[in-house]
C-alpha cells in the first residue's frame, strides 16, 4: 500500500476520488478482520452520519499486536527512553507488549470493566501508558487520555462528561526538571466525580501518595493477580475506540469520538505512506500520547504496521539542548516526527548542541501541530536533515484522526513550509465566508473537506448536536476545519492558521473562551478578552486584556494570582504570556468584543486598526494601546 512515485500518487489520488469505496476497501484489505464489511461507506454530512466498513468485526489490538507475533514477535515494538539520560532505556518486543497488554486487560476486567465503559488515563509518558491504552482497546473499553498538564478541574470536567468508571494514573511524572504529582491531581479531581469506582496507580516517581481504601489499587499488585491470556473482544467497525477532548472556539472542550475500524485503517495507511516507513526502522514521534499525534503516530499507526516506535518521557532540551540529538544517535532513529515549536526551541541554541552527534541514520523528517515558519523549516532541513531527508509538513487535526494534507516522503516534490497536497482519499476545498467554493489556484479561503474519510470523527461524546453545529453547519454539506488556507499557483496547500477563536500555543489548541472563563473566575476580574499574538518559540502566545477595577499598587502580584487561577482552572498550558489591565474593552454597540482590534494591538500595531467607528466607546482603544505598549 506504499506509494512509490509521484505519477503513482496522482493516479491513486484520481482513483480515490472517483472510486472512494473501492479505494478504501482495497486499503482495508491489508488489515486483519474477523469478518469483512457488508458496506464500505454510508454517509451524510447534514446529520452528520458517517459509517465506514459497516458490519465488519475486528479488534484493533489484534492488528497492532497479535498479527505480528508469528513473524515479528521478537522485534522491538516500543523503545522507551527515560527523562533521565542516565537511566537505561526499555525495549518491549511485540511478544512482551502483547503479554503486558493482555495482562493489564485482565486487570481491567477483574475490576469490573466491560465493553463500552469509559476509562480515563492520566499518566506519564511511560510504556505502561501505551499498555493501558491498548488494554482498553483489547476489551472494548473506551479510553479517554488526558494530557499530564491539565488541572484537577479540567480532568473532573472530562471524566464527568463521559462518565468514566475507572482511572489509570501514576504517582507522578517527570518532565525535564519538573515533577508533576499526578495522583494528587487525580485525588483533587475525583472529589467531584461520582462515577469513578476504581483508580489504578502505577509507581513511577516514588513520591508518597494517598491510597484510598476500596478505591485505589497499585498497578504492580494488580498485574500479579491475573494471567496473560486475554482473548480480544470482538468489536464492530463502528464501535467507539476512544474519546479525546479538544478545545474549540466556544464552550468547554469537546470529546471527539473515533471508532475502531475506520480509525485503524486511516492511522495505519497514513503512517506507512507519508513517512515511507521501512521494516526495521525506528520511528520517533516526540508528541505526548495525551494528544492525537501520540494516539495515531506513537501507538496505533506504527503498531498496526508492525513498526518500532520510540517513546520519550522527557523534553527535547533536558538536561541539555543536545538531548534530542543524543536520543537519535543512541537509538539510530530513522524517522523523526516533531513540532515546529520544538524545532524553534532547539534552533535557539544554535548548532553547537548538534556537533559530534551522528544523525546519519535519519531518513525522513516530519512536522505537525502548527504552521512551520520558513526559517525553522530550513534549519530542520539543513542542520538536522543535512539536505538529505524529505520534510513532511503534515496538516491534520484531532477530529481527522490522521494526516490529511501532507507530502509523501520521496514522492511529493516539496516546497519549504508547505503541507503540499491532499493524501489519497482526501478532498479539500476552499470556500469564502458565504460558503462559495473558491476555485482555481493562487487563492485563499477557509479550508473544508467535502467527502468523508475513514479516520474522521463520528460525533462529540454525549452531544451529537454540538458536533453538527461545530463542524458541519458553518457550510452545509462540508466538514469545516477552522483553518485558513492558501492554494498556490501549483495547487499546493499552505495552511495559514486558525480562522476561529482558537489559539495554537506550542502546537496545543486552546480556546480563547476557555481562557477568558478561567480568568473571569478570579475574584476582582470583571471581564476579560484573550487573543493570540505571534510568539518566537511557541508560534502563538496568549495575550489577555483584563478589566480589574479595584487594582491595587502591586499589579504584578495580581497578575501572578490570575496565572495561578488559570493554572487551577485549566492547567499551566493555558497561562497567558502577557496581561494588561484596562478599564474597558472595545465593544460594538450590540456588546460584542471586537477581537480584531485586540489582535492587532497584541501584534504591536498601533495605527492601522481598521474601522473603529462602530465601537461603543472608541476612546478605550487609545487607552489599551498605551497599556499594551508599557508591557
Ligand atoms: C494546526 C494536531 C499548519 C491547525 C495534529 C489545526 C497545523 C490544528 C498543522 C489541529 C500543520 C496542525 N500546518 N497548521 N502542519 N498541523 N495544525 O487537533 O490549526 O491538536 O486545525 O491536532 O493544528 O490541532 P490538533
Taking only the tens place, the pLDDT of each residue in 281-340 is 999 999 999 999 999 999 999 999 999 999 999 999 999 999 999 999 999 999 999 999
**Ligand 1 atom at shortest distance from the alpha carbon of 481:** 21
Largest separation between any pair of C-alpha atoms in the chain: 74
Site to substitute for ligand 1 among 495, 498, 506, 511, most atoms within 8 A of C-beta: 495
Contact criterion met (CB below 8 Å) for 3 and 408: yes
**Ligand 1 atom at shortest distance from the alpha carbon of 372:** 13
Contact criterion met (CB below 8 Å) for 434 and 31: no
**Ligand 1 atom at shortest distance from the alpha carbon of 508:** 20
DSSP secondary structure letters along 214-252? TTEEEHHHHHHTS-S--PPPPEETTSEEEEEEE--SSSS
143: CA distance to ligand 1 center in Å?
Answer: 22
Site to substitute for ligand 1 among 150, 257, 391, 395, most atoms within 8 A of C-beta: 395
Which ranges of 445-502 would DSSP assign to H, the alpha helix?
464-467
- What's the pLDDT at 554? 85
Half-sphere exposure of 27 (CA within 13 A, CB side): 32
Look at residue 493 and give its three-state secondary structure. strand
- What's the pLDDT at 608? 86
**Ligand 1 atom at shortest distance from the alpha carbon of 367:** 15
Closest listed residue to residue 154, CA positions, set 536, 558, 568: 568
pLDDT above 90 (res 351): yes
User: H or E stretch including 333?
Assistant: none
Site to substitute for ligand 1 among 294, 380, 397, most atoms within 8 A of C-beta: 397
d(CA 421, CA 406): 6
555: CA distance to ligand 1 center in Å?
Answer: 35
pLDDT tens string 438-481: 999 999 999 999 999 999 999 999 999 999 999 999 999 999 99
- What's the pLDDT at 251? 82
pLDDT tens string 226-269: 999 999 999 999 999 999 999 988 888 999 999 999 999 999 99
d(CA 179, CA 186): 15
396: CA distance to ligand 1 center in Å?
Answer: 5
pLDDT above 90 (res 405): yes
- What's the pLDDT at 233? 98
Cell of 246: 479538544
Give mean pLDDT, residues 597-611. Answer: 91
d(CA 380, CA 396): 20
Q: How far is CA 275 from CA 25, 318, 336, in A?
A: 22, 27, 9
524: CA distance to ligand 1 center in Å?
Answer: 35
Closest listed residue to residue 283, CA positions, set 265, 301, 308: 308
Site to substitute for ligand 1 among 338, 509, 510, most atoms within 8 A of C-beta: 509
Smallest CA separation from ligand 1 atom 25, residue = 397
93: CA distance to ligand 1 center in Å?
Answer: 32
**Omega before residue 319 within 30° of 0, cis:** yes
Helices 595-602, 619-629: crossing angle, 10 deg rounding:
30
Give mean pLDDT, residues 198-211. Answer: 98
How is residue 118 annotated by DSSP?
Answer: E
Give mean pLDDT, residues 338-366. Answer: 98
Contact criterion met (CB below 8 Å) for 333 and 282: yes
- Cβ contacts of 20 within 8 Å, gap of 6 or more: 41, 425, 451
Smallest CA separation from ligand 1 atom 15, residue = 395
Q: How far is CA 475 from CA 246, 272, 485, 522, 523, in A?
A: 21, 32, 16, 37, 40
Q: What is the 3-state secondary structure (H, E, C) of 260-311?
A: HHHHHHHHHHHHHHHCCCCCCCEEEECCCCCCHHHHHHHHHHHHHCCCEEEE
Per cent of the chain over pLDDT 90 is 95
d(CA 412, CA 553): 59
**Ligand 1 atom at shortest distance from the alpha carbon of 405:** 15
Give mean pLDDT, residues 193-221. Answer: 98
136: CA distance to ligand 1 center in Å?
Answer: 27
10 Å CB burial of residue 416 (0-12, 13-18, 19+) is middle
Look at residue 473 and give its three-state secondary structure. coil
d(CA 302, CA 89): 19
pLDDT above 90 (res 612): no
436: CA distance to ligand 1 center in Å?
Answer: 24
d(CA 350, CA 82): 25
End-to-end CA distance of the chain: 54
**Ligand 1 atom at shortest distance from the alpha carbon of 482:** 21
- What's the pLDDT at 602? 96
- Cβ contacts of 562 within 8 Å, gap of 6 or more: 519, 522, 525, 544, 546, 576, 579
Number of CB atoms found within 10 A of residue 542's CB: 24
Give mean pLDDT, residues 76-95. Answer: 98
Query: Model-level pTM?
Result: 0.97
Number of CB atoms found within 10 A of residue 568's CB: 17
d(CA 146, CA 253): 12
Q: How far is CA 220 from CA 81, 100, 103, 174, in A?
A: 21, 12, 11, 19
Smallest CA separation from ligand 1 atom 5, residue = 397
- β 39-44/508-511 pair status: unpaired
Site to substitute for ligand 1 among 258, 370, 485, most atoms within 8 A of C-beta: 370
d(CA 291, CA 253): 13
Ligand 1, residues at Cβ distance < 6 Å: 246, 291-293, 368-371, 393-398, 419, 481-483, 495, 498, 504, 509
Domains in the chain with CATH codes = 6-472 (3.40.50.12780), 502-629 (3.30.300.30)
Closest listed residue to residue 157, CA positions, set 254, 287, 22: 254
Smallest CA separation from ligand 1 atom 12, residue = 369
**Mean of pLDDT over the chain:** 97
pLDDT tens string 26-69: 999 999 999 999 999 999 999 999 999 999 999 999 999 999 99
Closest listed residue to residue 241, CA positions, set 60, 449, 21: 60
Buried/exposed code over 24-36 (b: 16+ C-beta within 10 A; e: otherwise): bbebbeebebeee
pLDDT tens string 97-141: 999 999 999 999 999 999 999 999 999 999 999 999 999 999 999
Contact criterion met (CB below 8 Å) for 115 and 140: yes
Phi, psi dihedral angles at 35 (to 5 degrees): -145, 135
Which residue's entry shows cell 466491560? 114
DSSP bridge pairs for 178: 175
Helix/strand number for the chain, H first, E second = 20, 30
- What's the pLDDT at 82? 98
Half-sphere exposure of 252 (CA within 13 A, CB side): 16
Contact criterion met (CB below 8 Å) for 190 and 209: no
Amino acid at each position: 500500500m506504499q506509494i512509490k512515485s509521484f505519477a503513482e500518487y496522482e493516479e491513486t489520488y484520481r482513483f480515490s476520488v472517483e472510486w472512494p469505496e473501492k479505494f478504501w476497501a482495497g486499503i482495508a484489505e491489508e488489515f486483519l478482520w474477523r469478518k469483512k464489511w457488508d458496506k464500505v461507506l454510508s454517509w451524510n454530512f447534514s446529520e452528520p452520519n458517517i459509517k465506514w466498513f459497516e458490519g465488519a468485526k475486528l479488534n484493533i489490538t489484534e492488528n497492532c499486536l497479535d498479527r505480528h507475533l508469528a513473524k515479528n514477535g521478537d522485534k522491538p515494538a516500543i523503545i522507551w527512553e527515560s527523562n533521565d539520560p542516565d537511566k537505561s532505556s526499555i525495549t518491549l518486543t511485540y511478544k512482551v507488549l502483547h503479554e503486558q497488554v493482555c495482562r493489564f486487560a485482565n486487570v481491567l476486567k477483574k475490576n469490573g470493566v466491560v465493553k463500552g465503559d469509559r476509562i480515563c488515563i492520566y499518566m506519564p509518558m511511560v510504556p505502561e501508558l501505551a499498555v493501558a491504552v491498548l488494554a482498553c482497546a483489547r476489551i472494548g473499553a473506551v479510553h479517554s487520555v488526558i494530557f499530564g498538564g491539565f488541572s484537577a478541574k479540567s480532568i473532573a470536567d472530562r471524566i464527568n462528561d463521559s462518565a468514566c468508571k475507572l482511572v489509570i494514573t501514576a504517582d507522578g511524572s517527570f518532565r525535564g526538571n519538573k515533577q508533576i504529582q499526578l495522583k494528587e491531581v487525580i485525588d483533587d479531581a475525583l472529589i467531584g466525580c461520582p462515577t469513578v469506582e476504581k483508580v489504578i496507580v502505577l509507581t513511577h516517581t516514588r513520591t508518597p501518595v494517598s491510597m484510598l481504601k476500596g478505591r485505589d489499587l497499585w498497578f504492580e499488585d494488580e498485574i500479579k493477580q491475573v494471567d496473560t491470556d486475554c482473548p480480544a473482544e470482538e468489536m464492530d467497525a463502528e464501535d467507539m475506540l476512544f474519546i479525546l477532548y479538544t478545545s474549540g472556539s466556544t464552550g468547554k472542550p469537546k470529546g471527539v469520538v473515533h471508532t475502531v475500524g475506520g480509525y485503524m485503517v486511516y492511522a495505519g495507511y497514513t503512517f506507512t505512506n507519508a513517512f515511507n516507513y521501512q521494516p526495521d526502522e525506528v520511528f520517533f514521534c516526540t508528541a505526548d500520547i495525551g494528544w492525537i499525534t501520540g494516539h495515531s503516530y506513537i501507538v496505533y499507526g506504527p503498531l498496526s504496521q508492525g513498526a518500532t516506535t520510540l517513546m520519550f518521557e522527557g523534553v527535547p532540551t533536558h538536561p541539555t539542548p543536545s538531548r534530542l540529538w543524543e536520543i537519535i544517535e543512541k537509538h539510530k532513529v530513522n524517522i523523526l516526527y516533531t513540532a515546529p515549536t520544538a524545532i524553534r526551541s532547539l534552533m535557539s541554541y544554535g548548532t553547537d548542541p548538534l556537533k559530534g552527534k551522528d544523525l546519519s541514520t535519519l531518513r525522513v523528517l516530519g512536522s505537525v501541530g502548527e504552521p512551520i515558519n520558513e526559517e525553522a523549516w530550513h534549519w530542520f532541513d539543513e542542520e538536522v536533515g543535512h539536505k538529505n531527508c524529505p520534510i513532511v509538513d503534515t496538516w491534520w487535526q484531532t477530529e481527522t484522526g490522521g494526516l490529511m494534507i501532507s507530502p509523501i516522503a520521496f514522492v511529493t516534490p516539496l516546497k519549504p513550509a508547505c503541507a503540499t497536497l491532499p493524501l489519497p482519499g482526501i478532498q479539500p476545498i476552499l470556500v469564502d465566508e458565504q460558503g462559495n467554493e473558491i476555485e482555481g489556484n493562487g487563492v485563499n479561503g477557509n479550508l473544508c473537506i467535502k467527502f468523508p474519510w475513514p479516520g474522521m470523527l463520528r460525533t462529540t461524546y454525549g452531544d451529537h448536536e454540538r458536533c453538527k453545529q461545530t463542524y458541519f453547519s458553518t457550510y452545509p454539506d462540508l466538514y469545516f476545519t477552522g483553518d485558513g488556507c492558501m492554494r498556490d499557483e501549483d495547487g499546493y496547500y499552505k495552511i495559514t492558521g486558525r480562522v476561529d477563536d482558537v489559539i495554537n500555543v506550542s502546537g496545543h489548541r486552546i480556546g480563547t473562551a476557555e481562557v477568558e472563563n478561567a480568568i473571569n473566575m478570579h475574584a476582582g476580574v470583571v471581564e476579560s478578552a484573550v487573543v493570540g499574538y505571534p510568539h518566537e518559540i511557541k508560534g502563538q502566545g496568549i495575550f489577555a486584556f483584563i478589566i480589574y477595577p479595584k487594582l491595587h499598587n502591586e499589579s504584578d502580584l495580581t497578575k501572578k494570582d490570575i496565572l495561578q487561577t488559570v493554572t487551577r482552572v485549566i492547567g499551566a498550558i493555558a497561562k497567558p504570556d502577557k496581561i494588561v489591565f484596562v478599564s474597558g474593552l472595545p465593544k460594538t454597540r450590540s456588546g460584542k468584543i471586537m477581537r480584531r482590534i485586540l489582535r492587532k494591538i497584541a501584534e504591536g500595531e498601533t495605527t492601522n486598526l481598521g474601522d473603529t467607528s462602530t465601537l461603543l466607546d472608541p476612546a478605550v482603544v487609545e487607552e489599551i494601546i498605551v497599556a499594551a505598549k508599557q508591557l
